[in-house]
Amino acid sequence: MPSAWTGPAAESAVEPVNVNSSASPETTVRSSYVPPHLRNKPQGAVGPVDNHSFGSGGGGLGESRENLGSAGVGNSLATAGGAWGSRSATASGIPSSGPGSGGRFSAGGWNKGGGSGDVRSNGLRSGSNGKSSWGVGSDPDPFPKEEPRDALFDQENTGINFDAYEDIPVETSGENVPPAVSTFAEIDLGQILNENIRRCKYLKPTPVQRHAIPISLAGRDLMACAQTGSGKTAAFCFPIIAGIMRNSPPGRPRGGRKAFPLALILSPTRELSSQIHDEAKKFSFQTGIRVVVAYGGAPIQNQLRDLERGVEILVATPGRLVDLLERGRISLSSIRYLALDEADRMLDMGFEPQIRKIVEQMDMPPAGRRQTMLFSATFPREIQRLASDFLGNYIFLAVGRVGSSTDLIEQRVEYVLDADKRSMLMDLLHAQKAQGTSSQG
């Protein structure tokens, strides 16, 4: 029986294909909703919105979800007249400028000098009593005195082949899409954030960052299809942090035991939330912005205490957040930035009622009065509905899968007897290991 195996590049790139295999009756009904980026298509140019694939190379993705990540990225995405199209989105009546679009950074950067919302060298905004004017304590300096400050940032990045990012196809659609950038220097994120980016050893933006950051900094809502590992965390954190710094929150409601975050990042799992929390803390270092995480499966008391100390950016899983909201310990009335990470996974996990409750039924400002970024690896009908309900006049961004281009993957077929499979596999693994060691040495 033939067996196929892939080289190391493939191993790191392989992820479960995100298709909805159990086709519900709903998936066979053609949606009447057409997302903004697909409207005004010439007939025939657009397939059913719930069925087109992104970079699939055409194979095996006839299910109800598009898959953005299968091998062969680059085939269909870049195709003219491809399913993603590039026509303008239809205006939905939401002004294209959202929160954060009003102000402009000065040429020298907004956080260098004094002025309102000035940032002291210790990163705290100066208040009359020398405390944070946002009524929050700052996290203690996480760096031991003797250690260089870069210690926080020492964890090196993942081993992702960043050179491969250059080939990743990207497509945007919508009205007046802000141009992408190719370096962080082209975007004025402010001195402190730039310094933290340097500490993180991010030399240049990944494709999703190149597009998403200018879009979000311009105050636009964003629907981004991008895979895990594409650099989404920075793509939504940088604009949030820069936006909070730029607009120096005036007189945020304080007092009592209720927290009033300015930004909410929803993510499906405790692990992902902690990961985002860790990253966001690095990016926010010395900005005075407090990042707090709240997830289920951990004692709520510690999280409550953490919230009481103040929070600008709240990273949360939907279930735990609903709990905190129902306890009256959080108000969403000050939210100016909402990011939903891995939205498709949240829906797969059954979080839609909680997400809708959080976004639509509590006190969060509606679309148009907050800025919303929706990230998802796939773009099935349920995500399209969320996008149409949560976003205003959004820009659609589709980024191919990192590390999936076929030339990164070596495929070989070895014919072996069933009885020899195990030893063959061990040989292959050992050979690879030896190869890896010798190539490094």
Ligand X SMILES: Nc1ncnc2c1ncn2[C@@H]1O[C@H](COP(=O)(O)OP(=O)(O)OP(=O)(O)O)[C@@H](O)[C@H]1O
Binding site for ligand X (CB under 6 A): 157-158, 160, 162, 202, 205-206, 209, 228-234, 272, 275, 342
Cβ proximity to ligand X: between 27 and 228 the closer is 228
The minimum distance between CB 1 and ligand X, in angstroms, equals: 35
3-state DSSP assignment of residue 68: coil
Write out the H or E segment, with its range, that includes residue 314.
strand 313-316
Minimum CB separation of residue 342 from ligand X in Å reads 6
Shorter beta-carbon distance to ligand X: residue 188 or 342: 342
Least distance between ligand X and beta carbon 115 (Å): 30
Nearest to residue 313, comparing CAs of 345, 286, 276?
276
**Smallest separation, CB 32 to ligand X (Å):** 31
H/E element, 194: helix 191-199
CA triple 257-262-263, angle to 5 deg: 115
Q: How far is the CB of 343 from ligand X (least distance, A)?
A: 11
What's at 22, amino acid-wise?
S
Q: Are the beta carbons of 247 and 241 closer than 8 angstroms?
A: no
Closest residue by Cα to residue 67 from 31, 19, 21, 13: 19
For ligand X, the closer CB: 76 or 209:
209
Q: Considering beta carbons, is residue 209 or 287 the nearer one to ligand X?
A: 209
Gap between the Cα atoms of 87 and 313, Å rounded: 34
CA torsion, ordered 344, 348, 349, 351, to nearest 10 deg: 60
Smallest separation (angstroms) from ligand X to the CB of 292:
18
Length of the chain: 441
Q: Which two tokens stand for residue 310?
A: 């103040």
Tokens of 435: 């190869």
Closer CB to ligand X, residue 355 or residue 399? 399
202 vs 396, which CB is nearer to ligand X?
202
**Nearest-angstrom CA–CA distance, 78 and 83:** 10
Spell out where 169-215 has E strands.
170-173
196 or 233: CB nearest ligand X: 233
As a whole number of Å, the end-to-end CA separation of the chain is 36
Q: Provide, rounded to whole angstroms, the least separation between the CB of residue 326 and ligand X.
A: 27
Toward ligand X, which CB reaches closer, 45 or 185?
A: 185
Minimum CB–partner distance for residue 229 and ligand X (Å): 5
